[in-house]
């Protein structure tokens, strides 16, 4: 009620952009979706597409579809076409498709600028030497012998690289940054490599190609991207992104923001691995309905709106997470349920003979939509003395809770009659070949005039009129919910596709491929866009219906065997990183003054070891603290304020830049200690001192923060709050003691933080209990 749903940001990027727009950091929003055309888009890309296009839409901006085609060897026009097609299919407006390769000339000129400025050089080391020179996570790298060659020499070499004077791998262009940078990416990253390869767009015009780190930020700058949104694994790359944007004379200053990529249970998102599935023939192509690709989901029968709503449901954050597959199923079911017609199909036929059927065929009128779907329409379905029902719908020895057909049991055939099983016929192998039933002519349409009820309603088909159809049932491609492992190929689900020869009702005989239906009680299906045609119908199961009976029977089965042991984890060989505590210890080890202060604070001022430690890990901070004491602040209070409040402020900027002085802090502490300022109001004054500096007493006076000393005024504020919140009062008196915080907060707000919290609490407790 307080905040309208539409105005509340859904994720941190919306919040950030809203702030940027509000503060005038950007006048508008321009995002981009930048796939490399080396594979088909998958559901993980769909998340990114919905995010980037969605953000642009929401804030009235633009989103570019840009092919990041900087590596000719893996890329192909087939992929650029499929990508553009998929993005449009997902429902987003794609203007002109853009290509990084269109910017090659500009990028090249900027590279020359870098060389001329002495910030890039041509390195003739081979691959192994470059790798070795990079150092390791814990050791700095070593500089290339070519690093300090004259700019003119690099320029000449670079021009000859472009001209094709050298073979692949002979040399590279590198940025000259810092071989000792703790971020490995900053250790003179490669900018250009030689590749005598045919590019899908530029053909043979180039034989040098820019690397991702060099190209991407420049592409963004050229397009005037404001928010370059990518996945978490690029966090380390942000530093080189910023370095280039800030170093080069580019037309815009885009910045990069990262979010967690999608991980979905039972599916793999690696383009490399998906490609292998396609190439090995494990699946029938990129659009195999088992594939997590957009093309696969589309052929499977997923709608674009379901995929969009799925992306909306899962949210966007920076936490590495996996999404429950059920969420995707939920999205498609809720999309299809109110839309698609219900028809009947039998996947695994079992013949039923109605022994008292008079003969002939009766055509029944059957609604296409259930009572709760507000859509009109019906079709005719034939009923006769020879029917098919689902094998699963008959049990010779039914388990407890069985609602379906069994010897002696009566069920309803949907839209038809009640039938009662009178017996079975067996084939030579002893298996049931037919089920014998009688029908009750009085139950035409499925209702009994005598009002008797049946537990189960079955779907069925008249055998002679039923139309044969291939029915493809899909399950997860992988048997493991976390197939993203080394041995992923061993985790393939051997039963991911089951092909059945079943039947559908005659109204589907002329079905147009690509139509979706609910096959009653079986699930949602789509006629296969590639393989289905009249006379040879093929249906893909999109998703099953929720099935509480299956869940029930599963629950009754003996517990599943314990999960297979997860592959042995590799021993952790990562270097441990230093905690801040360790860093402070090292600093003191090299700084006698700080070491002395550390001892002094404990011995002379009686600080705890922890407080002394924190306060003497940095010369500025230590000096600030001691100056605050010297300015007259009480030791314990000064310690609390500096440790808890000042420390937070110096996280993003050095103490020296803060307008806050030790004298001002000491003054503030004095006001609080004297009871003239509540701690709450004191923090407000502190915030102002940090922001603007000044005199604490003057700030207190100017903002009217002096503690409420008049008991009557406090009581009035308390009573006003109680009077204004009758509902909360009732709940508080009903036992919700946690609400006390709410009331105190209200009083604090009403008094501008001037109320004495302890007195407020006491008064509130008293008034509320009466």
Partner RNA sequence: AGGGGCGUGGGCUAGCGGUAAGCCACGGGAUUUUGGUUCCCGCUGACGUAGGUUCGAAUCCUACCGCCCCUGCCA
Cβ pair 292, 42 in contact under 8 A: yes
Q: How many residues bind RNA (CB under 7 A)?
A: 137
| Closer of 36 and 410 to RNA (Cβ) | 36
Closest separation in Å from C-beta 615 to RNA: 10
Closest separation in Å from C-beta 533 to RNA: 26
337-359 in b/e form (b: 16+ CB < 10 A) is eeebbbbbbbbebbebbbeebee
Please give the residues from 485 up to 504 whose contact with RNA meets the rule CB under 7 A.
none
Is 749 an annotated catalytic residue? no
x/- track of binding to RNA for residues 311-330 (CB under 7 A): --xxxxxxxxxxxx-xx-xx
- Quick one: which of 110, 357, 388, 415 contacts RNA (CB under 7 A)? 415
Cα–Cα distances in angstroms (integers) from residue 405 to residues 354, 613, 651, in the given order: 13, 78, 71
Element (H, E) at 601: helix 592-603
Region of 150-158, 370-378, 494-502, 504-512 interacting with RNA (CB under 7 A): 370-378
DSSP for 182-223, written as a single string: SSGGGSS-EEEEE----BTTTBTS-SEEE-HHHHHHHHHHHH
What gap in Å lies between CA 36 and CA 32, rounded to an integer?
Answer: 13
| Closer of 31 and 288 to RNA (Cβ) | 31
Please give the residues from 553 up to 612 whose contact with RNA meets the rule CB under 7 A.
555, 572, 574-575, 577-584, 610
SS3 for 337? coil
Number of CB atoms found within 10 A of residue 260's CB: 17
15 binds RNA (CB under 7 A): yes
Closest separation in Å from C-beta 427 to RNA: 25
Is 271 an annotated catalytic residue? yes
Please give the residues from 632 up to 661 whose contact with RNA meets the rule CB under 7 A.
640, 643-645, 647-648, 651
Task: At 232, list the tokens.
Answer: 């978490």
Closest separation in Å from C-beta 643 to RNA: 5
335 binds RNA (CB under 7 A): no
| Closer of 285 and 757 to RNA (Cβ) | 757
Region of 5-13, 84-92, 625-633, 696-704 interacting with RNA (CB under 7 A): 5-13
Closest separation in Å from C-beta 624 to RNA: 14
742 binds RNA (CB under 7 A): yes
Please give the residues from 197 up to 256 whose contact with RNA meets the rule CB under 7 A.
209, 211-213, 216, 232-237
| Residue 188: closest CA among 119, 111, 248 | 119
Annotated active-site residue in 162, 174, 271, 754: 271
Please give the residues from 338 up to 357 whose contact with RNA meets the rule CB under 7 A.
342
- Quick one: which of 156, 547, 593, 766 contacts RNA (CB under 7 A)? 547
Is 14 an annotated catalytic residue? no
| Closer of 195 and 386 to RNA (Cβ) | 195
Please give the residues from 37 up to 76 whose contact with RNA meets the rule CB under 7 A.
68, 70-71, 74
What gap in Å lies between CA 167 and CA 161, rounded to an integer?
Answer: 9
- Quick one: which of 127, 536, 603, 711 contacts RNA (CB under 7 A)? 127
761 binds RNA (CB under 7 A): yes
Annotated active-site residue in 147, 253, 261, 676: 261
Please give the residues from 721 up to 740 whose contact with RNA meets the rule CB under 7 A.
728, 731, 736, 738-740
Please give the residues from 430 up to 459 whose contact with RNA meets the rule CB under 7 A.
445-447, 456-457
Closest separation in Å from C-beta 667 to RNA: 18
138 binds RNA (CB under 7 A): yes
Closest separation in Å from C-beta 130 to RNA: 5
Region of 78-86, 310-318, 346-354, 461-469 interacting with RNA (CB under 7 A): 310-318
- Quick one: which of 119, 200, 253, 414 contacts RNA (CB under 7 A)? 414
198-228 in b/e form (b: 16+ CB < 10 A) is ebbbbeeebbbbbbbbbbbbbbbbbbbbbbb
137 binds RNA (CB under 7 A): yes
DSSP for 477-537, written as a single string: SBSSS---STTGGGGB-TTSEEEEEEEE-GGGTTPPTT-EEEETTTEEEEE-TTT-BTTBE
Cβ pair 32, 67 in contact under 8 A: no
- Among all chains, which residue has been given the structure tokens 């002696």? 408
Burial class of residue 638 (count of CB atoms within 10 Å of its CB; 0-12, 13-18, 19+): buried
Question: Which residues, other chains included, contact 98 with Cβ-Cβ below 8 Å and sequence gap of 6+?
Answer: 64, 65, 66, 67, 223
**What's the CA angle centered on 352, arms 350 and 358, to 5 degrees?**
155
Number of H helices, E strands in the chain: 26, 25
Task: Enumerate the β-bridge partners of residue 526.
Answer: 516, 540
Residues annotated as catalytic are 36, 261, 271
């Amino acid at each position: 009620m307080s905040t309208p749903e539409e105005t509340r940001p859904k994720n941190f990027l919306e919040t950030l952009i809203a702030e940027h727009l509000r503060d005038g950091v950007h006048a508008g929003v321009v995002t981009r979706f930048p796939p490399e055309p080396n594979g088909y888009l998958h559901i993980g890309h769909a998340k990114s597409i919905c995010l980037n296009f969605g953000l642009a839409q929401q804030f009235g901006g633009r989103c570019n579809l840009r092919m990041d085609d900087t590596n000719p060897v893996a890329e192909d026009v087939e992929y650029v076409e499929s990508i553009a097609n998929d993005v449009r299919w997902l429902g987003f407006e794609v203007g002109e498709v853009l290509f990084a390769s269109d910017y090659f000339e500009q990028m090249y000129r900027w590279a020359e600028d870098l060389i001329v400025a002495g910030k890039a050089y041509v390195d003739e080391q081979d691959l192994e030497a470059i790798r070795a020179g990079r150092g390791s996570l814990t050791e700095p790298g070593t500089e290339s012998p070519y690093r300090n060659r004259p700019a003119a020499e690099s320029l000449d070499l670079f021009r000859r690289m472009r001209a094709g004077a050298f073979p692949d791998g002979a040399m590279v262009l590198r940025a000259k940054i810092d071989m000792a940078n703790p971020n490995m990416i900053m250790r003179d990253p490669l900018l250009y490599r030689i590749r005598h390869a045919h590019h899908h767009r530029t053909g043979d015009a180039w034989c040098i190609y820019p690397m991702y780190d060099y190209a991407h930020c420049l592409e963004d700058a050229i397009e005037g991207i404001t928010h370059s949104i990518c996945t978490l694994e690029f966090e380390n790359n942000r530093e080189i992104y910023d370095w280039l944007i800030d170093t080069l004379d580019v037309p815009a200053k885009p910045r990069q923001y990262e979010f967690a990529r999608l991980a979905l249970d039972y599916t793999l998102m690696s383009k490399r691995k998906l490609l292998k599935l396609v190439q090995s023939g494990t699946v029938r192509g990129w659009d195999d309905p088992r594939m997590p690709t957009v093309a696969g989901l589309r052929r499977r029968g997923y709608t674009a709106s379901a995929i969009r709503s799925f992306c909306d449901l899962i949210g966007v954050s920076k936490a590495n997470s996996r999404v429950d597959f059920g969420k995707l199923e939920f999205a498609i079911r809720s999309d299809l349920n109110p839309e698609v017609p219900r028809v009947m199909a039998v996947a695994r036929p079992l013949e039923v003979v109605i022994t008292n059927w008079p003969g002939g065929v009766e055509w029944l009128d059957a609604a296409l939509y259930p009572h709760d779907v507000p859509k009109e329409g019906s079709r005719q379905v034939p009923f006769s003395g020879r029917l098919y029902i689902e094998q699963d719908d008959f049990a010779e020895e039914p388990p407890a809770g069985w609602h379906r057909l069994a010897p002696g049991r009566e069920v309803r055939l949907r839209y038809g009659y009640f039938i009662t099983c009178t017996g079975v016929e067996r084939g030579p192998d002893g298996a049931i070949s037919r089920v014998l039933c009688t029908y009750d002519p009085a139950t035409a349409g499925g209702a009994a005039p005598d009002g008797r009820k049946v537990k189960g309603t079955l779907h069925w088909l008249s055998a002679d009129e039923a139309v044969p159809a291939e029915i493809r049932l899909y399950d997860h491609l992988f048997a493991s919910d976390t197939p993203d492992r080394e041995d992923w190929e061993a985790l393939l689900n051997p039963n991911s596709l089951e092909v059945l020869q079943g039947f559908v009702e005659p109204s589907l005989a002329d079905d147009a491929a690509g139509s979706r239906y609910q096959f009653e009680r079986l699930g949602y299906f789509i006629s296969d866009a590639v393989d289905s045609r009249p006379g040879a119908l093929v249906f893909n199961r999109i998703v099953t219906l929720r099935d509480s009976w299956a869940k029930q029977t599963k629950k009754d089965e003996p517990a599943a065997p314990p999960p297979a042991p997860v592959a042995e984890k590799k021993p952790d060989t990562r270097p441990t990183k230093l905690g801040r505590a360790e860093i402070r210890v090292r600093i003191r080890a090299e700084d006698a003054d700080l070491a002395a202060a550390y001892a002094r604070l404990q011995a002379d001022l009686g600080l705890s070891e922890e407080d002394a430690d924190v306060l003497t890990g940095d010369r500025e901070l230590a000096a600030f603290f001691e100056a605050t004491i010297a300015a007259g602040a009480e030791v314990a209070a000064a310690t609390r304020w500096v440790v808890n409040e000042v420390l937070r402020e110096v996280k993003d900027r050095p103490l020296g830049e803060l307008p806050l002085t030790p004298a001002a802090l000491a003054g503030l502490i004095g006001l609080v200690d004297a009871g003239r300022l509540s701690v709450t109001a004191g923090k407000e004054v502190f915030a102002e001192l940090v922001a603007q500096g000044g005199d604490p007493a003057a700030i207190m006076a100017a903002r009217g923060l002096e503690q409420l000393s008049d008991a009557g005024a406090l009581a009035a504020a308390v009573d006003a709050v109680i009077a204004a919140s009758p509902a909360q009062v009732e709940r508080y008196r009903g036992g919700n003691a946690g609400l006390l915080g709410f009331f105190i907060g209200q009083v604090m707000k009403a008094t501008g933080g001037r109320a004495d919290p302890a007195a407020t609490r006491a008064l509130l407790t008293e008034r509320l209990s009466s």
